[in-house]
Each structure stands twice: as C-alpha cells, then as structure tokens.
Chain A
Amino acid sequence: GAVVSQHPSWVICKSGTSVKIECRSLDFQATTMFWYRQFPKQSLMLMATSNEGSKATYEQGVEKDKFLINHASLTLSTLTVTSAHPEDSSFYICSGRAGSSYNEQFFGPGTRLTVL
C-alpha cells in the first residue's frame, strides 16, 4: 500500500506557542488529504479536508483560524496549531487519498501533541 509519513511523531510545546505538523505522501500523489484528531481511548474525528491548491474545508466546530491547513503540493499538507492551549493536546492523524485509488485513504502514523 501507499505510505504516508508525519513529522514530528511527537511534540511538546508551551501554551501560547504555535506548532506545525507535516503530512507527506511518500510514493503517491495525494490529491486530497484529511486531518483527524483522536482523544485518548476515543475514535478519530475528522477536522478538515484539504485539496491540493485550494482552501481546506473544515468540519463543524473546528476553528479554521486555530488549525491552519495548507496543502501546497500533491505530496505535502501541513497543520499548524496556533496559540496552542492544553486542551489542544491530542493525537493528530493525517491521511492521503490519490485520485486514482478507489476511495481508499492511507493513514499516517500520527503526531502526539502535548501542550504544557
């Protein structure tokens, strides 16, 4: 299957700072990338959908000014958590979907964010 990487795998930051998480499709072109959030012992919740070259579409209740998503190329999407607070601490997972793969999303390993 296709491979999606995320960097960093874990990050600790101080409250009020911004953190950028990268999501890369290593061996395919991801026309669409998805960002999910997973709280401990809970399911994945979709935050936003991003298509290369266009603005991300955010799910209801997700603040677009707080979670900035950029999908500048077919292999890279970034999620920036701005002015992070402890309640933003979570596991963030991205997935990529190629235009040709029949609706399959390939998931990254996730990034654990801890805000102190």
Chain B
Amino acid sequence: AQRVTQPEKLLSVFKGAPVELKCNYSYSGSPELFWYVQYSRQRLQLLLRHISRESIKGFTADLNKGETSFHLKKPFAQEEDSAMYYCALMEYGNKLVFGAGTILRVKS
C-alpha cells in the first residue's frame, strides 16, 4: 500500500536557522508528491509540488527516488513559517495520501 511517513511530529527551530522537514514515501509507480501547509486557523493550502520544481516562500523540496524521500527545506526559518506541514502522495484516481504532518515552530 502507498504510504507517506513524516517521522517528526514537532520540529522547533530558532528564527534564521535552517529547516528540514522529512518525508519518506512508498509507492510502486512513478510518484507525484506535494507539500501542503496549514497555518493556524486556516485551511490546507498547497505549498509546492515536485513536478513544478519551484521555490515557494523560500521552501524547496527535491524528490530523491533512490532514498524515496521528498524532504522540505528552507535555509533561514522565519516566524511566519510556523504551521503544520503535510507531505502528500498522489495515487491512482488523483487521490491524495497524506503523511501524519509535522508542526514547525519557529522561535524568536
């Protein structure tokens, strides 16, 4: 079965420090991966997808098929980055399988 693993429930960093939110997946085909973010009291929104290879709000994520990983990175964390981050895999039928999520807390 397809699975997305986010090993950290909470990641706490200081402002200006680098951030890496881990995501590993298992999928039999060619994966399509996403990162979604949910700020406090807001709806889930797309942060980035691996296919577009873009950088949003300073975040990047590279698909590593050898390690089956899609870690989210940002070189310098900002307080407004504090949120819940979900890694998701799209499977057949455009269905999303979500990881458990990681809370990112950026301390001043």
Interface residues on B, range: 10 to 19
Chain B residue with the shortest CB-CB distance to A108: B43
Using a Cβ–Cβ cut-off of 8 Å, how many residues does chain A contribute to the interface with B?
22
Shortest distance between the CB of A37 and any CB in chain B (Å): 11
For the residues of A in contact with B, the DSSP-based class is strand
* B90 proximity list for chain A (CB < 8 A): 103
User: Given A46-B97, A97-B94, list of 16 further CB < 8 A pairs?
Assistant: A1-B45, A1-B46, A32-B94, A34-B95, A34-B96, A43-B86, A43-B98, A43-B99, A44-B86, A49-B93, A102-B51, A103-B32, A103-B49, A105-B96, A109-B43, A110-B43
Residues of B within 8 A of A (CB): 32, 42-46, 49, 51, 86, 90, 93-101
Residues of A within 8 A of B (CB): 1, 4, 32, 34, 42-46, 49, 57, 93, 95, 97, 102-105, 107-110
